[in-house]
Structure 1
Amino acid sequence: MRLTAMTVAAALVAGSALAEPVTPGDVQYDEYGAVAASLTGVAGDPVNGGKIMADKSQGNCIACHAVTALNDAPFHGEVGPMLDGVGGYRTAEELRGIVANAKMTFEDSVMPAFYKTTGFIRPGDAYTGKAAQGELSPLLSAQDIEDVVAFLLTLKD
């Protein structure tokens, strides 16, 4: 039995949809902090990415970054750079690396590592004042990272 190119392509797409997300410890950063491969193999949803950036219980990116496209959300910060136009000068790979762990690109960044679970000095247990018990979860899921990257790539102007 021969497989046609269409059959092979369909199998690859179906296989990637079933693939497990890359775990935080397995993310491969290049020498500049970029992450070449998608963390999920699933395209990001820019609408959801915008919601994550503005949601205080998720990314809350606008607490530090101003983003004109998210002007409906209150309290844009000025700690980080304005993100307008970032999709025009950063690649998906660069943005994925920065969102996952900005310190891999900018060593002195105060931006949280949204997809990191180890290597912390003294992680706390939420707002209890106590040390964390057990394994830590990343702040955002692998698909959340892909969604934020998809949103950032829409910011061309």
Structure 2
Amino acid sequence: MKRTILAAAIAGMGTIAVAQTAPNEITFGEYGQIETSLSGLVGDPAAGLEIMVNRGKGNCIACHQVTALEEYPFHGEVGPSLDFVGERWEEADLRGIVANAKMTFPESVMPSFYKTEGFVRAGDGYTGRAAESEIEPILTAQEIEDVVAYLMTLKE
């Protein structure tokens, strides 16, 4: 994997800077799994929950039912229920599915949340026009890690 960890201290702060893996540098396993953190950091389950229900970000519940999130309205039935997903899948598998589900399930209609190239016709926001500049991923590397951290909490 073309991944660099910078062990340099940030100017006098004593903080370690960690380089994230760019979307086009990901190495997927045979079944679409991504073994290491995309951001180089551990995910935050609370932040992941916010992304799961945020209609402007991940909006996972638009397609998936999650009993633990029943206080949020409008759960979808397009994708499978995410109840107990933390028991059914390994962290690396979930990271791969959230980043680019088509690597695990080629026929999936789930968006590729961490992909920036290889689109048939990427649009420019909601304008109906083709994108004229580089496409940004839907979620950042850290947001992927946060969602995965939340999904790992969904156990019996």
Is the partner of 2:99 in helix, strand or coil? helix
AA paired with 1:51? E
Is the partner of 1:18 in helix, strand or coil? coil
Q: Distance in 1 between matches of 2:26 and 2:72?
A: 31
In structure 2, stretches of 5+ residues that fail to align are 1-5
- The CA deviation string for residues 13-46 of structure 1, in whole angstroms up to 9 with x for no partner, is x799411110000011011000001101111000
Match of 2:103 in 1: 104
Match of 2:72 in 1: 73
Match of 1:54 in 2: 53
TM-score by length of 1: 0.89
Q: Distance in 2 between matches of 1:100 and 1:134?
A: 21
Query: Are residues 1:28 and 2:33 paired?
Result: no
Match of 2:3 in 1: none
Displacement of 1:126: 1.0
Contact 1:17 1:41 in 2 (8 A): no
Q: Distance in 2 between matches of 1:144 and 1:105?
A: 20
Query: Are residues 1:64 and 2:42 paired?
Result: no
Match of 2:150 in 1: 151
Match of 2:114 in 1: 115
AA paired with 1:144? E
Match of 1:139 in 2: 138
Q: Distance in 1 between matches of 2:29 and 2:135?
A: 24
Contact 1:17 1:42 in 2 (8 A): no
TM-score by length of 2: 0.90
RMSD over equivalenced CA pairs, Å: 1.8
AA paired with 2:32? G
- Runs of 4+ residues over 3 Å off in structure 1: 14-17
Of the structure 1 ranges 67-76 and 91-100, higher mean CA displacement relative to structure 2 is found in 67-76
Match of 1:7 in 2: none
Q: 1:17 to 1:29 in 2, by over 3 A?
A: farther
Q: Distance in 1 between matches of 2:46 and 2:18?
A: 23
Contact 1:117 1:136 in 2 (8 A): yes
Taking only the aligned residue pairs, the percentage that are identical comes to 56
Q: Distance in 2 between matches of 1:60 and 1:89?
A: 21
Q: Distance in 1 between matches of 2:68 and 2:41?
A: 24
Q: Distance in 2 between matches of 1:153 and 1:25?
A: 25
In structure 1, stretches of 5+ residues that fail to align are 1-10
Q: 1:75 to 1:59 in 2, by over 3 A?
A: same
Q: How many residues of Structure 1 are paired with residues of Structure 2 in the alignment?
A: 147
Contact 1:66 1:81 in 2 (8 A): yes
